[in-house]
């Protein structure tokens, strides 16, 4: 068995190394026949077991053509990052160690690493010192957890125990969101019984920022329990809600302020970019991702709550066999919805330690610089328009046709045709979006590997696709 382990890990290492070695040169995503993929990976459930090395070999051979090089330097989709070497190494060990992150008694190492990573993150983001932290699968569950803490706190203030009684007969909660809130926030509201549609939507400005004056009007005179959901980093524009004004207005009404900072929170770790997030430390809870800008492998999210009691009350479970940690040690399950789970703190710790405070700031600032470079390259070409202020790592790009067919519909069609061509071409990958009722390409620079050369190569490929799409649609 030991020999088997060795053979297997050596082979897995070879396969992984080969993959990583080709990451920068392979097509980011290749067109693929899904039927063939199913056939290569599938077949009937085997009656008898297969040699583990064979299993891993076959898996890699069949899966690789259908992998997307989202860990590579020219993947600009969905604001996701790759995997820093230290984080990848720690993640491999996490799998080999197979620790359960639920209880201190199950893995003192996992528990203490989470504690340390939590302290580092709170310091890095400049959050209040007693802020509690949970390690989740991603920002969706981080939003969920934070809003559960919010629900607990605002109803406890109204004399209601929501964990015991649920929402049946509870005082209604006034939930306020910006017009540009991320879709995952609505998923969290739905799961918490707060409803996707019974929210008050505050209008946004031209960059997608919640309008603080409109929030003021919404909250005036409100005496009901209130939760305000703000955003640091709009998925289209990268813009930040005006957090200083929002927290001031909300505080005056005793409302809880939650900030969805899935990628944007990382800007708070950069002295140069922190002004975007001015006032962020005055919120009550925050959500972010490790698998986006910190470049930790999936899955990795974190939730922060300035009121540890509310956080814990919303998440705690107890049973006779669940021996709580003594002397204030950390039980990971007190801060997230799950009990048993992957010891996610190791990879986060490794990423933070390998970068250091200045490394995190450099990573974030470099991506923003590269986003500006990309926007500059593209907009130098006639008929290409950057729709947003490139304040962070996001650029929204729209292509216009020349000549008599020019107009919004032609621009929509051309922009969509360019996106399809870029995706087929494989030099880089970017997705599409609609922004203010216009089709746009969405370019997000979030990867630690991306260089100026990658930006230039990608910009050339995009411009090539613009030229050929214009030709075709002429």
Ligand X SMILES: *Cc1c(COP(=O)(O)O)cnc(C)c1O
* Residue with Cβ nearer ligand X (28 or 141): 141
Q: How far is the CB of 202 from ligand X (least distance, A)?
A: 16
* Residue with Cβ nearer ligand X (260 or 281): 260
What is each CA distance from 266 to 233, 291, 295, in whole angstroms? Answer: 9, 12, 11
Q: Using CB atoms within 10 A of its CB, is residue 26 exposed (0-12), middle (13-18) or buried (19+)?
A: middle
Q: How far is the CB of 263 from ligand X (least distance, A)?
A: 5
What is each CA distance from 47 to 44, 50, 53, in whole angstroms? Answer: 9, 9, 18
Q: How far is the CB of 395 from ligand X (least distance, A)?
A: 15
Helix (H) or strand (E) holding 285: strand 285-289
The two structure tokens encoding residue 264: 């944007």
DSSP per-residue codes, 114-182: HHHHHHHHHHHHT--TT-EEEEESSHHHHHHHHHHHHHHHHHHHTT--HHHHTTTTPPP-EEEEETT--
Helix residue spans in 316-404 (DSSP H): 345-379
Q: How far is the CB of 10 from ligand X (least distance, A)?
A: 33
Are 300 and 294 within 8 A, CB to CB?
Answer: yes
Residue 290's nearest CA partner among 110, 91, 452, 73 is 91
The two structure tokens encoding residue 353: 């330690």
* Residue with Cβ nearer ligand X (260 or 454): 260
Contacts of 276 (CB under 8 A, 6+ apart): 232, 240, 264, 267, 391, 392
Within a 10 A sphere around the Cβ of 281, how many other Cβ atoms? 18
* Residue with Cβ nearer ligand X (19 or 78): 78
Sheet holding 256-260, edge to edge: 132-136, 301-305, 285-289, 256-260, 226-231, 174-178, 200-202
Are 395 and 377 within 8 A, CB to CB?
Answer: no
* Residue with Cβ nearer ligand X (394 or 401): 394
Residues found near ligand X in the complex (CB under 6 A)? 79, 138-140, 182, 184, 233, 235, 260, 262-263, 289, 301
CA 404/CA 423 separation, integer angstroms: 28
Q: How far is the CB of 140 from ligand X (least distance, A)?
A: 3
Q: How far is the CB of 264 from ligand X (least distance, A)?
A: 7
Q: How far is the CB of 232 from ligand X (least distance, A)?
A: 8
| Cross-strand bridge partners of residue 285 | 258, 305
* Residue with Cβ nearer ligand X (127 or 411): 127
3-state SS track over 82-128: CCCHHHHHHHHHHHHHCCECCCHHHCHHHHHHHHHHHHHHHHHHCCC
CA 336/CA 312 separation, integer angstroms: 9
Q: How far is the CB of 121 from ligand X (least distance, A)?
A: 16
* Residue with Cβ nearer ligand X (286 or 346): 286
| Closest residue to ligand X: CB criterion | 138
* Residue with Cβ nearer ligand X (140 or 276): 140
* Residue with Cβ nearer ligand X (176 or 469): 176
R_g (Cα) of the chain, nearest Å: 24
Q: How far is the CB of 130 from ligand X (least distance, A)?
A: 25
Are 149 and 336 within 8 A, CB to CB?
Answer: no
Q: How far is the CB of 205 from ligand X (least distance, A)?
A: 17
* Residue with Cβ nearer ligand X (225 or 301): 301
Q: How far is the CB of 220 from ligand X (least distance, A)?
A: 28
Q: How far is the CB of 185 from ligand X (least distance, A)?
A: 7
Residue 240's nearest CA partner among 249, 248, 230, 250 is 230
* Residue with Cβ nearer ligand X (79 or 118): 79
* Residue with Cβ nearer ligand X (180 or 454): 180
CA 272/CA 360 separation, integer angstroms: 12
């Amino acid at each position: 068995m030991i020999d088997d382990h060795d053979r297997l890990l050596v082979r897995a290492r070879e396969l992984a190394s080969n993959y990583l070695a080709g990451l920068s040169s392979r097509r980011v995503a290749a067109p693929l026949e899904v039927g063939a993929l199913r056939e290569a990976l599938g077949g009937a459930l085997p009656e008898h077991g297969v040699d583990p090395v064979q299993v891993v070999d076959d898996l890699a051979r069949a899966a690789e053509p259908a992998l997307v090089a989202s860990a590579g330097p020219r993947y600009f989709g969905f604001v996701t990052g790759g995997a820093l070497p230290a984080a990848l190494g720690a993640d491999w060990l996490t799998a080999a160690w197979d620790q359960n992150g639920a209880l201190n008694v199950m893995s003192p190492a996992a528990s203490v690493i989470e504690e340390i990573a939590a302290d580092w993150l709170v310091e890095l983001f400049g959050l209040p010192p007693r802020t509690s932290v949970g390690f989740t699968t991603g920002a969706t569950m981080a939003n969920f957890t934070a809003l559960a803490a919010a629900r607990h706190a605002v109803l406890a203030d109204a004399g209601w125990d929501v964990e015991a009684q649920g929402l049946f007969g509870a005082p209604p909660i006034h939930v306020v969101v910006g017009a540009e809130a991320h879709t995952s926030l609505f998923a969290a509201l739905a799961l918490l019984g707060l409803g996707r549609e019974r929210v008050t939507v505050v209008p946004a400005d031209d960059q997608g920022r919640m309008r603080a004056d409109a929030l003021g009007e919404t909250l005036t005179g409100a005496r009901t329990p209130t939760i305000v959901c703000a955003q640091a980093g709009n998925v289209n524009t990268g813009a930040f809600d005006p957090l200083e004004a929002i927290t001031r207005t909300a505080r005056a009404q005793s409302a809880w302020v939650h900030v969805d900072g899935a990628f944007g929170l990382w800007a708070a770790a950069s002295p140069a970019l922190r002004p975007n997030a001015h006032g962020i430390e005055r919120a009550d809870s925050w959500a972010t991702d490790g698998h986006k800008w910190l470049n930790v492998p999936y899955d990795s999210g974190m939730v922060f709550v300035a009121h540890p009691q509310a956080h814990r009350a919303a998440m705690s479970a107890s049973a006779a066999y669940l021996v709580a940690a003594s002397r204030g040690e950390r039980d990971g399950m007190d801060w997230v919805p799950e009990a048993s789970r992957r010891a996610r703190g190791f990879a986060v710790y490794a990423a933070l330690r390998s970068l250091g405070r200045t490394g995190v700031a450099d990573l974030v600032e470099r991506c923003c610089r590269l986003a500006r470079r990309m926007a500059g390259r593209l907009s130098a070409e006639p008929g290409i328009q950057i729709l947003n202020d490139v304040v962070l790592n996001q650029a929204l790009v729209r292509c216009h046709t020349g000549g008599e067919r020019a107009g919004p519909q032609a621009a929509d069609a051309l922009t969509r045709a360019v996106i399809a061509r870029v995706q087929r071409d494989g030099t880089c990958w970017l997705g599409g979006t609609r922004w203010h009722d216009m089709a746009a390409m969405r370019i997000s620079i979030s990867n630690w590997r991306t260089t100026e050369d990658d930006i230039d190569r990608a910009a050339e490929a995009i411009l090539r696709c613009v030229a050929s799409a214009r030709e075709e649609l002429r």
